[in-house]
Amino acid sequence: KMELSKRAKQLKPSVTLAASAKAKELKAQGLDILSVTLGEPDFPTPENIQQAAIAAIQSGKASFYTPTAGIPELRQAVVSYIERYYGLTYSPKETLITDGAKFALYALFQVILDAQDEVLIPVPYWVSYADQVQLAEGVPVFVQGKEENQFKVTVEQLTACLTAKTKALVLNTPSNPTGMIYTKEELQSIGEWAVEHNILIIADDIYGRLVYGDATFTPIATISEAIRRQTMIINGVSKTYSMTGWRIGFAVGDQKIIEAMTNIASQATSNPTAVSQYAAVEALTGPQDSVEAMRKAFEERLNRLYPLVLEIPGVKCAKPQGAFYLFPNVKETMAICGYDDVTIFTDDLLKEAHVALVTGAGFGAPENIRISYASDWETLEQTVQRIKAFVEKKR
Protein backbone atom coordinates (compact mmCIF):
# COMPACT_ATOMS: atom_id res chain seq x y z
CA LYS A 1 0.00 0.00 0.00
CA MET A 2 2.94 2.31 0.58
CA GLU A 3 4.20 1.64 -2.95
CA LEU A 4 4.60 4.83 -4.98
CA SER A 5 2.95 5.24 -8.36
CA LYS A 6 4.98 4.77 -11.53
CA ARG A 7 4.50 8.48 -12.12
CA ALA A 8 5.98 9.40 -8.76
CA LYS A 9 8.90 7.03 -9.22
CA GLN A 10 9.72 8.50 -12.60
CA LEU A 11 9.63 12.08 -11.34
CA LYS A 12 12.83 13.73 -10.18
CA PRO A 13 13.18 16.97 -8.26
CA SER A 14 14.16 20.09 -10.19
CA VAL A 15 17.99 20.09 -10.49
CA THR A 16 18.20 23.80 -9.79
CA LEU A 17 16.13 23.54 -6.62
CA ALA A 18 18.07 20.43 -5.59
CA ALA A 19 21.44 22.16 -6.15
CA SER A 20 20.28 25.14 -4.14
CA ALA A 21 18.97 22.92 -1.32
CA LYS A 22 22.29 21.04 -1.16
CA ALA A 23 24.21 24.32 -0.94
CA LYS A 24 21.93 25.53 1.87
CA GLU A 25 22.39 22.26 3.74
CA LEU A 26 26.19 22.55 3.63
CA LYS A 27 25.97 26.21 4.65
CA ALA A 28 23.86 25.23 7.64
CA GLN A 29 26.65 22.82 8.64
CA GLY A 30 28.88 25.87 8.89
CA LEU A 31 30.73 25.58 5.56
CA ASP A 32 31.52 28.76 3.65
CA ILE A 33 29.54 27.92 0.51
CA LEU A 34 29.04 30.36 -2.35
CA SER A 35 25.84 29.56 -4.21
CA VAL A 36 25.06 30.79 -7.70
CA THR A 37 22.43 28.15 -8.30
CA LEU A 38 19.11 29.92 -8.21
CA GLY A 39 17.28 31.88 -10.85
CA GLU A 40 16.05 34.36 -8.36
CA PRO A 41 16.68 38.11 -8.19
CA ASP A 42 18.45 38.99 -4.94
CA PHE A 43 16.65 42.33 -4.51
CA PRO A 44 13.81 42.87 -2.08
CA THR A 45 10.40 43.20 -3.72
CA PRO A 46 9.96 46.93 -4.53
CA GLU A 47 8.49 49.04 -1.75
CA ASN A 48 5.30 50.08 -3.59
CA ILE A 49 4.45 46.41 -4.15
CA GLN A 50 5.08 45.54 -0.50
CA GLN A 51 2.81 48.41 0.56
CA ALA A 52 0.01 47.23 -1.72
CA ALA A 53 0.21 43.80 -0.10
CA ILE A 54 0.14 45.24 3.40
CA ALA A 55 -2.88 47.38 2.51
CA ALA A 56 -4.66 44.35 1.05
CA ILE A 57 -4.07 42.38 4.25
CA GLN A 58 -5.20 45.21 6.50
CA SER A 59 -8.34 45.95 4.51
CA GLY A 60 -9.37 42.33 5.00
CA LYS A 61 -9.80 41.63 1.30
CA ALA A 62 -6.83 39.27 1.23
CA SER A 63 -8.43 36.94 3.76
CA PHE A 64 -10.64 35.03 1.36
CA TYR A 65 -10.68 32.70 -1.61
CA THR A 66 -10.61 34.58 -4.89
CA PRO A 67 -12.07 33.49 -8.22
CA THR A 68 -9.95 30.59 -9.52
CA ALA A 69 -8.86 32.53 -12.59
CA GLY A 70 -7.72 35.46 -10.45
CA ILE A 71 -9.21 38.67 -9.10
CA PRO A 72 -10.78 40.77 -11.90
CA GLU A 73 -8.37 43.68 -11.16
CA LEU A 74 -5.39 41.45 -11.82
CA ARG A 75 -6.80 39.88 -14.99
CA GLN A 76 -7.47 43.42 -16.20
CA ALA A 77 -3.94 44.44 -15.16
CA VAL A 78 -2.56 41.57 -17.26
CA VAL A 79 -4.64 42.74 -20.23
CA SER A 80 -3.23 46.28 -19.84
CA TYR A 81 0.29 44.94 -19.37
CA ILE A 82 0.13 42.90 -22.55
CA GLU A 83 -1.31 45.90 -24.37
CA ARG A 84 1.54 48.07 -23.11
CA TYR A 85 4.48 45.72 -23.65
CA TYR A 86 3.26 43.62 -26.56
CA GLY A 87 0.84 46.02 -28.26
CA LEU A 88 -1.74 43.21 -28.35
CA THR A 89 -5.34 43.37 -27.21
CA TYR A 90 -6.87 40.48 -25.29
CA SER A 91 -9.99 40.21 -23.18
CA PRO A 92 -9.73 39.33 -19.47
CA LYS A 93 -11.40 36.01 -20.35
CA GLU A 94 -8.29 35.16 -22.33
CA THR A 95 -6.11 35.46 -19.21
CA LEU A 96 -5.52 33.19 -16.24
CA ILE A 97 -3.64 34.06 -13.04
CA THR A 98 -1.66 31.11 -11.70
CA ASP A 99 0.56 30.04 -8.82
CA GLY A 100 3.72 31.12 -10.61
CA ALA A 101 4.38 30.73 -14.32
CA LYS A 102 5.38 27.20 -13.38
CA PHE A 103 1.80 26.22 -12.62
CA ALA A 104 0.56 27.96 -15.77
CA LEU A 105 2.84 25.65 -17.76
CA TYR A 106 1.77 22.64 -15.73
CA ALA A 107 -1.93 23.35 -16.29
CA LEU A 108 -1.33 24.05 -19.97
CA PHE A 109 0.36 20.70 -20.60
CA GLN A 110 -2.43 18.98 -18.66
CA VAL A 111 -5.11 20.42 -20.94
CA ILE A 112 -3.47 20.18 -24.34
CA LEU A 113 -1.80 16.77 -24.20
CA ASP A 114 -3.24 13.32 -24.62
CA ALA A 115 -1.07 10.31 -23.88
CA GLN A 116 1.91 10.09 -26.27
CA ASP A 117 1.39 13.57 -27.73
CA GLU A 118 4.74 15.17 -28.41
CA VAL A 119 6.10 18.53 -27.33
CA LEU A 120 9.16 19.99 -29.02
CA ILE A 121 11.61 21.32 -26.44
CA PRO A 122 14.73 23.13 -27.67
CA VAL A 123 17.90 22.04 -25.84
CA PRO A 124 19.23 23.33 -23.51
CA TYR A 125 15.90 23.76 -21.77
CA TRP A 126 14.52 25.01 -18.49
CA VAL A 127 14.45 21.97 -16.25
CA SER A 128 10.71 21.64 -15.62
CA TYR A 129 9.36 21.52 -19.20
CA ALA A 130 10.20 17.88 -19.81
CA ASP A 131 8.99 16.62 -16.45
CA GLN A 132 5.75 18.56 -16.73
CA VAL A 133 5.11 17.13 -20.20
CA GLN A 134 5.67 13.64 -18.78
CA LEU A 135 3.33 14.32 -15.88
CA ALA A 136 0.68 14.98 -18.53
CA GLU A 137 1.59 11.64 -20.19
CA GLY A 138 3.08 13.49 -23.13
CA VAL A 139 6.47 12.87 -24.69
CA PRO A 140 9.18 15.54 -24.62
CA VAL A 141 11.03 15.65 -27.93
CA PHE A 142 14.36 17.40 -27.56
CA VAL A 143 15.53 19.59 -30.41
CA GLN A 144 19.25 20.14 -30.11
CA GLY A 145 20.24 23.77 -30.53
CA LYS A 146 23.80 24.19 -31.80
CA GLU A 147 26.17 26.02 -29.50
CA GLU A 148 27.67 27.89 -32.46
CA ASN A 149 24.16 29.23 -33.18
CA GLN A 150 23.94 30.39 -29.55
CA PHE A 151 21.94 27.23 -28.86
CA LYS A 152 18.98 28.54 -30.85
CA VAL A 153 17.01 26.05 -32.93
CA THR A 154 16.17 26.47 -36.60
CA VAL A 155 13.15 25.52 -38.69
CA GLU A 156 15.23 22.74 -40.30
CA GLN A 157 15.97 21.24 -36.89
CA LEU A 158 12.32 21.52 -35.86
CA THR A 159 11.16 19.92 -39.09
CA ALA A 160 13.50 16.98 -38.51
CA CYS A 161 11.68 16.31 -35.21
CA LEU A 162 8.14 16.80 -36.51
CA THR A 163 5.77 13.80 -36.41
CA ALA A 164 2.01 13.27 -36.65
CA LYS A 165 1.99 13.39 -32.84
CA THR A 166 3.65 16.81 -32.48
CA LYS A 167 1.31 19.07 -30.57
CA ALA A 168 3.31 22.00 -29.27
CA LEU A 169 6.65 23.80 -29.24
CA VAL A 170 8.08 25.48 -26.16
CA LEU A 171 9.93 28.67 -26.95
CA ASN A 172 11.77 30.40 -24.12
CA THR A 173 13.42 33.65 -25.10
CA PRO A 174 15.40 35.17 -23.44
CA SER A 175 16.45 31.68 -22.49
CA ASN A 176 17.07 30.03 -19.19
CA PRO A 177 19.80 28.68 -19.06
CA THR A 178 21.63 30.30 -22.01
CA GLY A 179 20.52 33.95 -21.78
CA MET A 180 20.21 34.02 -25.58
CA ILE A 181 17.47 35.85 -27.45
CA TYR A 182 15.87 34.86 -30.75
CA THR A 183 15.80 37.63 -33.33
CA LYS A 184 12.57 38.80 -34.89
CA GLU A 185 13.51 37.10 -38.16
CA GLU A 186 14.24 33.80 -36.42
CA LEU A 187 10.92 34.00 -34.59
CA GLN A 188 9.09 34.82 -37.78
CA SER A 189 10.32 31.69 -39.52
CA ILE A 190 9.62 29.52 -36.48
CA GLY A 191 6.18 31.11 -36.01
CA GLU A 192 5.23 30.65 -39.65
CA TRP A 193 6.43 27.06 -39.49
CA ALA A 194 4.24 26.45 -36.41
CA VAL A 195 1.20 27.94 -38.14
CA GLU A 196 1.83 25.89 -41.26
CA HIS A 197 2.03 22.64 -39.26
CA ASN A 198 -0.64 23.63 -36.72
CA ILE A 199 1.74 23.41 -33.76
CA LEU A 200 0.78 25.34 -30.64
CA ILE A 201 3.52 27.78 -29.60
CA ILE A 202 4.09 27.99 -25.86
CA ALA A 203 5.91 31.30 -25.47
CA ASP A 204 7.66 31.41 -22.11
CA ASP A 205 8.36 35.14 -22.00
CA ILE A 206 9.24 35.31 -18.32
CA TYR A 207 12.63 36.98 -18.93
CA GLY A 208 11.31 39.39 -21.57
CA ARG A 209 12.07 42.53 -19.58
CA LEU A 210 15.60 41.48 -18.64
CA VAL A 211 17.43 42.36 -21.83
CA TYR A 212 20.89 43.94 -22.15
CA GLY A 213 23.09 45.89 -24.53
CA ASP A 214 21.76 46.22 -28.07
CA ALA A 215 19.53 43.17 -27.82
CA THR A 216 15.77 43.51 -28.07
CA PHE A 217 13.07 41.08 -27.08
CA THR A 218 10.33 40.45 -29.61
CA PRO A 219 7.44 38.45 -28.23
CA ILE A 220 6.63 35.84 -30.89
CA ALA A 221 2.89 36.58 -30.49
CA THR A 222 3.46 40.07 -31.90
CA ILE A 223 4.82 38.93 -35.24
CA SER A 224 1.55 38.28 -37.02
CA GLU A 225 -2.10 37.74 -36.26
CA ALA A 226 -1.85 34.11 -37.41
CA ILE A 227 1.08 33.49 -35.06
CA ARG A 228 -0.71 35.27 -32.20
CA ARG A 229 -3.69 32.94 -32.59
CA GLN A 230 -1.36 29.97 -32.45
CA THR A 231 0.42 31.13 -29.27
CA MET A 232 -0.16 30.77 -25.55
CA ILE A 233 1.82 33.43 -23.70
CA ILE A 234 3.28 32.44 -20.33
CA ASN A 235 4.65 35.18 -18.13
CA GLY A 236 4.75 36.29 -14.51
CA VAL A 237 6.03 38.70 -11.91
CA SER A 238 8.79 36.55 -10.36
CA LYS A 239 11.80 37.67 -12.35
CA THR A 240 10.77 41.15 -13.48
CA TYR A 241 9.67 42.44 -10.07
CA SER A 242 11.81 40.29 -7.78
CA MET A 243 8.70 38.45 -6.57
CA THR A 244 9.72 34.78 -6.76
CA GLY A 245 8.30 34.07 -3.30
CA TRP A 246 4.90 35.54 -4.06
CA ARG A 247 4.10 32.88 -6.67
CA ILE A 248 2.14 34.77 -9.30
CA GLY A 249 2.28 33.96 -13.00
CA PHE A 250 -0.16 34.25 -15.84
CA ALA A 251 -1.21 32.69 -19.12
CA VAL A 252 -2.73 34.62 -22.01
CA GLY A 253 -4.28 33.17 -25.14
CA ASP A 254 -7.10 31.09 -26.56
CA GLN A 255 -10.15 31.30 -24.30
CA LYS A 256 -11.05 27.61 -24.60
CA ILE A 257 -7.57 26.61 -23.42
CA ILE A 258 -7.66 29.22 -20.64
CA GLU A 259 -10.99 27.85 -19.40
CA ALA A 260 -9.69 24.30 -19.37
CA MET A 261 -6.59 25.43 -17.46
CA THR A 262 -8.89 27.20 -15.00
CA ASN A 263 -10.67 23.89 -14.38
CA ILE A 264 -7.33 22.25 -13.57
CA ALA A 265 -6.53 25.07 -11.16
CA SER A 266 -9.98 24.91 -9.58
CA GLN A 267 -9.43 21.25 -8.75
CA ALA A 268 -5.76 21.60 -7.82
CA THR A 269 -5.22 24.92 -6.06
CA SER A 270 -8.56 26.85 -5.91
CA ASN A 271 -6.80 30.15 -6.51
CA PRO A 272 -3.40 31.84 -6.34
CA THR A 273 -2.72 33.41 -2.95
CA ALA A 274 -4.98 36.43 -2.55
CA VAL A 275 -2.45 38.82 -1.02
CA SER A 276 0.02 38.04 -3.80
CA GLN A 277 -2.60 38.85 -6.41
CA TYR A 278 -3.16 42.31 -4.91
CA ALA A 279 0.59 42.84 -4.81
CA ALA A 280 0.85 41.77 -8.46
CA VAL A 281 -1.76 44.36 -9.50
CA GLU A 282 0.56 47.04 -8.13
CA ALA A 283 3.58 45.40 -9.79
CA LEU A 284 1.98 45.38 -13.23
CA THR A 285 0.20 48.75 -13.08
CA GLY A 286 2.36 50.80 -10.66
CA PRO A 287 5.62 52.68 -11.31
CA GLN A 288 8.14 50.65 -13.29
CA ASP A 289 11.34 52.46 -12.29
CA SER A 290 12.45 49.68 -9.92
CA VAL A 291 12.29 47.21 -12.83
CA GLU A 292 14.72 49.36 -14.78
CA ALA A 293 17.00 49.78 -11.73
CA MET A 294 17.19 46.00 -11.27
CA ARG A 295 17.68 45.41 -14.99
CA LYS A 296 20.60 47.87 -14.97
CA ALA A 297 22.14 46.19 -11.94
CA PHE A 298 21.99 42.81 -13.70
CA GLU A 299 23.50 44.31 -16.83
CA GLU A 300 26.40 45.82 -14.87
CA ARG A 301 27.07 42.49 -13.19
CA LEU A 302 26.98 40.71 -16.53
CA ASN A 303 29.45 43.18 -18.03
CA ARG A 304 31.85 42.70 -15.11
CA LEU A 305 31.39 38.97 -14.69
CA TYR A 306 31.58 37.89 -18.32
CA PRO A 307 35.28 38.78 -18.85
CA LEU A 308 36.19 37.16 -15.52
CA VAL A 309 34.48 33.91 -16.47
CA LEU A 310 36.39 33.86 -19.75
CA GLU A 311 39.61 33.88 -17.69
CA ILE A 312 38.82 30.43 -16.31
CA PRO A 313 41.13 28.14 -18.28
CA GLY A 314 39.36 26.35 -21.14
CA VAL A 315 36.02 28.15 -20.77
CA LYS A 316 34.06 29.08 -23.89
CA CYS A 317 31.02 31.27 -23.60
CA ALA A 318 29.06 33.57 -25.89
CA LYS A 319 27.92 36.73 -24.15
CA PRO A 320 24.30 36.38 -23.01
CA GLN A 321 21.79 39.01 -24.09
CA GLY A 322 19.13 38.58 -21.43
CA ALA A 323 17.88 36.77 -18.29
CA PHE A 324 20.54 36.43 -15.57
CA TYR A 325 22.57 33.36 -16.42
CA LEU A 326 25.91 32.52 -17.95
CA PHE A 327 26.06 29.08 -19.52
CA PRO A 328 29.74 28.49 -20.27
CA ASN A 329 31.02 25.43 -22.09
CA VAL A 330 33.56 23.80 -19.78
CA LYS A 331 34.51 20.78 -21.90
CA GLU A 332 38.13 21.92 -22.18
CA THR A 333 38.23 23.09 -18.58
CA MET A 334 37.14 19.63 -17.50
CA ALA A 335 39.75 18.02 -19.75
CA ILE A 336 42.44 20.23 -18.19
CA CYS A 337 41.60 18.94 -14.73
CA GLY A 338 40.74 15.36 -15.61
CA TYR A 339 36.95 15.28 -15.70
CA ASP A 340 34.62 14.05 -18.40
CA ASP A 341 31.32 14.27 -16.53
CA VAL A 342 30.01 17.73 -15.82
CA THR A 343 27.86 16.60 -12.90
CA ILE A 344 30.89 15.08 -11.14
CA PHE A 345 32.80 18.26 -11.99
CA THR A 346 30.13 20.46 -10.35
CA ASP A 347 29.83 18.05 -7.39
CA ASP A 348 33.56 18.36 -6.80
CA LEU A 349 33.42 22.13 -7.18
CA LEU A 350 30.91 22.10 -4.35
CA LYS A 351 32.84 19.62 -2.18
CA GLU A 352 36.31 21.01 -2.73
CA ALA A 353 35.93 24.64 -3.77
CA HIS A 354 32.68 25.27 -1.90
CA VAL A 355 31.06 26.73 -4.99
CA ALA A 356 27.50 25.67 -5.79
CA LEU A 357 26.37 25.99 -9.39
CA VAL A 358 24.14 23.91 -11.62
CA THR A 359 25.30 21.10 -13.87
CA GLY A 360 24.41 21.63 -17.52
CA ALA A 361 23.30 17.99 -17.61
CA GLY A 362 20.04 19.03 -15.96
CA PHE A 363 19.35 21.31 -18.92
CA GLY A 364 20.37 18.71 -21.49
CA ALA A 365 23.83 20.23 -22.05
CA PRO A 366 26.55 17.93 -20.67
CA GLU A 367 29.45 20.25 -21.52
CA ASN A 368 28.12 23.30 -19.72
CA ILE A 369 27.55 24.76 -16.30
CA ARG A 370 25.03 27.40 -15.30
CA ILE A 371 26.08 30.38 -13.23
CA SER A 372 23.26 32.64 -12.08
CA TYR A 373 24.39 36.25 -11.67
CA ALA A 374 21.34 37.12 -9.63
CA SER A 375 23.75 37.35 -6.69
CA ASP A 376 25.74 40.15 -5.12
CA TRP A 377 28.99 41.11 -6.80
CA GLU A 378 31.27 39.84 -4.04
CA THR A 379 29.76 36.37 -4.30
CA LEU A 380 30.12 36.38 -8.07
CA GLU A 381 33.74 37.54 -8.02
CA GLN A 382 34.73 35.03 -5.36
CA THR A 383 32.91 32.25 -7.17
CA VAL A 384 35.02 32.80 -10.27
CA GLN A 385 38.20 33.04 -8.19
CA ARG A 386 37.42 29.76 -6.49
CA ILE A 387 36.69 28.00 -9.78
CA LYS A 388 39.97 29.33 -11.21
CA ALA A 389 41.91 28.17 -8.16
CA PHE A 390 40.23 24.74 -8.36
CA VAL A 391 41.23 24.35 -12.00
CA GLU A 392 44.81 25.52 -11.33
CA LYS A 393 45.14 23.04 -8.49
CA LYS A 394 43.88 20.10 -10.54
CA ARG A 395 45.73 20.79 -13.74
Question: Which residues are at the interface with ligand PLP (CB under 6 A)?
Answer: 39, 100-102, 126, 172, 176, 204, 206, 236, 238, 244, 249
Q: Rounded to the nearest whole angstrom, what is the least distance from the CB of residue 16 to ligand PLP in the complex?
A: 7
Nearer to ligand PLP, 122 or 354 (CB): 122
- Please state, in angstroms and rounded to a whole number, the distance separating the CA atoms of residues 192 and 269: 36
Nearer to ligand PLP, 246 or 390 (CB): 246
Q: Rounded to the nearest whole angstrom, what is the least distance from the CB of residue 11 to ligand PLP in the complex?
A: 17
Q: Rounded to the nearest whole angstrom, what is the least distance from the CB of residue 204 to ligand PLP in the complex?
A: 5
Nearer to ligand PLP, 35 or 176 (CB): 176
Nearer to ligand PLP, 124 or 328 (CB): 124
Nearer to ligand PLP, 138 or 249 (CB): 249
Residue among 366, 321, 317 nearest 339 (CA): 366
Q: Rounded to the nearest whole angstrom, what is the least distance from the CB of residue 327 to ligand PLP in the complex?
A: 13
Nearer to ligand PLP, 127 or 258 (CB): 127
In the chain, at which residue ranges do the beta strands (DSSP E only) sit? 34-35, 95-98, 118-123, 139-144, 166-172, 200-204, 231-236, 249-252, 325-326, 355-356, 358-359, 369-372
Q: Give 4: exposed, middle or buried? Use CB within 10 Å, 0-12, 13-18, 19+.
A: exposed
User: Is residue 152 within 8 Å of 145, Cβ to Cβ?
Assistant: yes
Q: Give 295: exposed, middle or buried? Use CB within 10 Å, 0-12, 13-18, 19+.
A: middle
Count CA atoms closer than 13 A to 356's CA, side-chain side: 23
Nearer to ligand PLP, 277 or 333 (CB): 277
Element (H, E) at 42: none
- Please state, in angstroms and rounded to a whole number, the distance separating the CA atoms of residues 61 and 67: 13
Nearer to ligand PLP, 230 or 372 (CB): 372
Which residue has the CB atom at the shortest distance from ligand PLP?
100
Q: Rounded to the nearest whole angstrom, what is the least distance from the CB of residue 246 to ligand PLP in the complex?
A: 9
User: Is residue 56 within 8 Å of 273, Cβ to Cβ?
Assistant: no
Alpha-carbon separation of residue 178 from 12, 26, 171, 234 (angstroms): 22, 27, 13, 19
Provide CB contacts within 8 A for 135, sequence distance 6+: 7, 11, 106, 109, 110
Q: Rounded to the nearest whole angstrom, what is the least distance from the CB of residue 236 to ligand PLP in the complex?
A: 4
Nearer to ligand PLP, 101 or 201 (CB): 101
Q: Rounded to the nearest whole angstrom, what is the least distance from the CB of residue 66 to ligand PLP in the complex?
A: 18
Q: Rounded to the nearest whole angstrom, what is the least distance from the CB of residue 141 to ligand PLP in the complex?
A: 18
User: Is residue 374 within 8 Å of 39, Cβ to Cβ?
Assistant: yes
SS3 83: helix
Q: Give 162: exposed, middle or buried? Use CB within 10 Å, 0-12, 13-18, 19+.
A: middle
295: region left, alpha or beta (phi > 0 left; psi from -120 to 50 alpha): alpha
- Please state, in angstroms and rounded to a whole number, the distance separating the CA atoms of residues 77 and 221: 19
Q: Rounded to the nearest whole angstrom, what is the least distance from the CB of residue 288 to ligand PLP in the complex?
A: 18
